[in-house]
Every structure is written in C-alpha cells, then in structure tokens.
Amino acid sequence: MLDAIDQDILKALGANARMSLKELALQVGLSSPSVAERLRRLEERDVIRGYTVQINPRALGYQFQAIVRIRPLPGQLQAVQKLIESTPEFCECDKVTGEDCFVARLYLQSLEQLDRILDRIASKAETNTSIVKAQTIMQRLPPLGTLQA
C-alpha cells in the first residue's frame, strides 16, 4: 500500500499542503524529482485527491455551526438530497446508515438563518439539530503509522 516515505509525504502535506516541492523533498529526505514522481503516483492512485485550504468561518461572518441529522419522509430521499446539495450553507454532508439518512454541517451567520434553512426542508424531512459549541478536532488525516508497506 504505502511505504514509510509515502506516509511521511502525506503527513507533511497534511500539516502544510502549500509546502514547496523543495521543502517537502528536504523534509522526507529525497530529491525534488523523486518526490514529484511519488506525488504523481499518489495522485494517480487516488490517495491524494487534491490540495486544499482551511478557512476560518468566523472570519467570514459565520458565527455558528450546526450539525443536522436529517430523516427524509417516505419518498422524499432524492428531493431532500437535492435540497441539501443546493443550499450553500451546508458545507459537509454524509449519507449514513441508521435512523437518519444524512448528517450535515451548516455554517450560519445567525440562528434565524438556521430556521429559514430548516423551514425549506420541513415538508420533506424530520430534522434534529445541534449547535456546535467548539470543534475539538478539525479535519485531519486518518492514522498513517499503522499502515503496512
């Protein structure tokens, strides 16, 4: 699967996806062309899907985050999924097993905005909402040290 060098590359990029190729090569102890080739192979194997930026939602005026569990009413699954996909405040959504079909994260400027969004879904689904007080773990890489080479 992944050898120790590939794991080191992923860890380094997980900490700083904007790291230069030269800096990454120094950090993992390879030449820049060797690291570039490894990156190309990781991308081709769909291990690396892209390089991203983390944005602070509060800096953009989003004072609240909410986690919403959504259970579509009978026959409304596709309509609810389209509503979620077309609502930009839904920044993450997972289709899950269990009583609910979706677990989604909303970024909100106000609690009134939450009401407006949920009102659009109310005729098609039951919802259960929790306001996020703090995000104790930001998105991070899965454990890499336990992978076998």
Give the residue numbers spanning the domain of 20. Answer: 4-44
**Domain co-membership, 23 together with 67:** no
Q: Quick one: how far is CA 35 from the chain centroid?
A: 26
pLDDT digits (tens, 9 = 90+) for 54-112: 889 999 999 999 999 999 999 999 999 999 999 999 999 999 999 999 999 999 999 99
CB neighbourhood size of 65 (10 A): 19
**Domain co-membership, 63 together with 89:** yes
In whole angstroms, what is the distance from residue 136 CA to residue 124 CA? 32
CATH code (residue 126):
3.30.70.920
In whole angstroms, what is the distance from residue 41 CA to residue 51 CA? 15
Confidence of residue 147 (pLDDT cuts 50, 70, 90): low
Give me the helices (H) in 16-146, please. Answer: 21-28, 32-44, 77-86, 111-121
Is 145 domain-assigned? no
Confidence of residue 140 (pLDDT cuts 50, 70, 90): confident
Average per-residue pLDDT in the chain? 93
In whole angstroms, what is the distance from residue 130 CA to residue 84 CA? 17
pLDDT digits (tens, 9 = 90+) for 23-33: 999 999 999 99
Work out how many domains the chain is built from and give that number.
Answer: 2
3-state SS, residue 92: strand
Report the Cα–Cα distance between both ends of the chain, in Å, rounded: 5
Burial of 77 (0-12, 13-18, 19+ CB in 10 A): middle
75 beta partners: none
**Domain co-membership, 121 together with 62:** yes
In whole angstroms, what is the distance from residue 79 CA to residue 77 CA? 6
